Homo-oligomer: A and B are copies of this chain.
Amino acid sequence: MKKTNIEIALSQDLEPITDIAEKVGLNRDEIYLYGDHIAKIKLSAREGREATARTVLVTAMTPTRAGEGKTTCAIGLNDGLNRIGKRSIVALREPSLGPVFGMKGGAAGGGFSQVLPMVDINLHFTGDMHAVTSAHNLLAALLDNEYSRPRGAFLLPKNVIWNRVIDMNDRALRSIVLGLGKAAGQVREGMFEITAASEIMAVLGLSRDLDNLKARLGNLIVAKSSNGDPVRARDIEAQGAMAILLRNALKPNLVQTIEGNPAIVHTGPFANIAHGTTSIVAVDMARRLADIVVVEAGFGSDLGAEKYFNLVSRRPGMVPPDVVVIVATLRGLRHQGGVSPKEVDDPERRGGGRRGWTTSANTWRT
């Protein structure tokens, strides 16, 4: 009988994460442990190591709703490269807690191409998602707090554009009215988005270091003032406290594949609203620790891969991929050929008159 992903994951013997760190040349004092099988790599580990690794970008044809296996393929490719003696690291995004309890399951691969410890990675992991949630909501709370100050008197509630986030598929929070009652600023409509969709997640994934992160946080636009100018996080002096909340979340997380090869799993931006790959800190770190880095880009090539080429790889110190792997499946081909989503697993179906089925872009908003 076929084992489930979680059964496979739980049946594996994991190597100590200190051993994995050692494989990629990291000393014990260059990492922070989070239990026995997860570590964060200190940013100072970049010093004295050149970012020289080749980059392999794993993308896909426009996928069906179920996904076509980019993560699985990237993990398997990394394991294969290691098996033939290459020093390779796979760099993936962190799964969001929300969808874990929703329909899509986790994002830690599947079958024998998983990163471990799967349950921890899928749940709280090293708290990065929680840190993004806290920083995002702190900014929201500080903004509402402005109503109790003189300068807040001119901030009309409908001009506030900064929402709140929660790492949960909680549909009842998608449209709310907040600030009711006597003591709580102004009443207004708002919403909770899912944490992975936070602009702070994007900012975290694109920052080089804590100073750069702090500057980007300060630039976040949170409202429109009455004269039409943007109000930014730095206008309410929020970036410092936010950066403190995010200082550990900026450090990439080291885990292992089922075959005991190194994997960096860091930040979780969606490709439809952000860049859709792991952080530049993660890719850059991996490129300093290995000869080959396998990076997965979200959704189809027109989303994650395009953004990787045009946006991520153009950041300072980043480079375009040396190789691109495009995952294509018979199911996806049938889907694009016009077969309805329900019938794509039937090898006899060949698509009909209705060409150009495209998936709705799997948007996750809490």
Interface residues of A (CB under 8 A from B): 32-36, 40, 97, 101, 119, 123-124, 127, 130-131, 133-134, 137-138, 140-141, 144-145, 147, 153-154, 156-158, 164, 166-181, 183-189, 226, 241, 244-245, 248
Evaluate contact between B167 and A184: CB separation under 8 angstroms. no
Q: Given the complex of chains A and B, what is the CA–CA distance between A166 and B153 in angstroms?
A: 26
Evaluate contact between A138 and B178: CB separation under 8 angstroms. no
**7 A-B residue contacts at CB 8 Å?**
A101-B141, A101-B241, A130-B134, A134-B167, A175-B184, A176-B177, A176-B178
Query: Which of A168, A226, A245 has the most CB atoms of chain B within a 10 A radius of its CB?
Result: A168
Evaluate contact between A177 and B172: CB separation under 8 angstroms. no
Evaluate contact between A180 and B175: CB separation under 8 angstroms. yes
Evaluate contact between B134 and A168: CB separation under 8 angstroms. yes
Residue numbers in B under 8 Å from A168 (CB-CB)? 134, 137-138, 141
Evaluate contact between B189 and A178: CB separation under 8 angstroms. no
Tell me, rounded to whole Å, the shortest Cβ–Cβ distance linking A239 to chain B: 14
Evaluate contact between B184 and A140: CB separation under 8 angstroms. no
Cβ contact of A175, chosen from B127, B167, B181, B244, cutoff 8 A: B181
Q: Given the complex of chains A and B, what is the CA–CA distance between A324 and B81 in angstroms?
A: 64
Evaluate contact between A153 and B123: CB separation under 8 angstroms. no
Q: Look across to chain B and name the residue whose beta carbon is closest to the beta carbon of A170.
A: B141
Tell me, rounded to whole Å, the shortest Cβ–Cβ distance linking A366 to chain B: 9
Q: Given the complex of chains A and B, what is the CA–CA distance between A154 and B174 in angstroms?
A: 23
Q: Given the complex of chains A and B, what is the CA–CA distance between A226 and B179 in angstroms?
A: 18
Tell me, rounded to whole Å, the shortest Cβ–Cβ distance linking A244 to chain B: 7
Cβ contact of A172, chosen from B36, B97, B175, B179, cutoff 8 A: B179
Evaluate contact between B173 and A178: CB separation under 8 angstroms. yes
Q: Given the complex of chains A and B, what is the CA–CA distance between A124 and B165 in angstroms?
A: 17
Q: Do A145 and B171 contact each other (CB < 8 Å), given the known contacts A33-B35, A123-B245, A124-B248?
A: yes
Residue numbers in B under 8 Å from A174 (CB-CB)? 181, 183-184
Query: Which of A40, A177, A241 has the most CB atoms of chain B within a 10 A radius of its CB?
Result: A177
Q: Look across to chain B and name the residue whose beta carbon is closest to the beta carbon of A174.
A: B184
Evaluate contact between B134 and A97: CB separation under 8 angstroms. yes
Tell me, rounded to whole Å, the shortest Cβ–Cβ distance linking A354 to chain B: 26
Q: Do A171 and B153 contact each other (CB < 8 Å), given the known contacts A33-B34, A187-B158?
A: no
Q: Given the complex of chains A and B, what is the CA–CA distance between A226 and B151 in angstroms?
A: 11
Tell me, rounded to whole Å, the shortest Cβ–Cβ distance linking A170 to chain B: 4
Q: Given the complex of chains A and B, what is the CA–CA distance between A184 and B171 in angstroms?
A: 5
Top 8 closest pairs, chain A to chain B, by CB: A130-B130, A175-B180, A175-B181, A33-B33, A141-B170, A144-B172, A32-B35, A177-B177
Q: Look across to chain B and name the residue whose beta carbon is closest to the beta carbon of A28.
A: B36
Q: Given the complex of chains A and B, what is the CA–CA distance between A244 and B101 in angstroms?
A: 11
14 more A-B residue pairs beyond the given contacts A141-B170, A187-B189, with a C-beta to C-beta distance below 8 A: A32-B34, A101-B241, A124-B127, A130-B130, A130-B134, A134-B168, A140-B172, A147-B156, A154-B226, A156-B156, A164-B173, A171-B185, A176-B179, A177-B177
Q: Given the complex of chains A and B, what is the CA–CA distance between A40 and B244 in angstroms?
A: 23
Tell me, rounded to whole Å, the shortest Cβ–Cβ distance linking A173 to chain B: 6
Q: Do A123 and B32 contact each other (CB < 8 Å), given the known contacts A140-B170, A177-B176?
A: no
Q: Look across to chain B and name the residue whose beta carbon is closest to the beta carbon of A150.
A: B226
Q: Given the complex of chains A and B, what is the CA–CA distance between A172 and B124 in angstroms?
A: 27
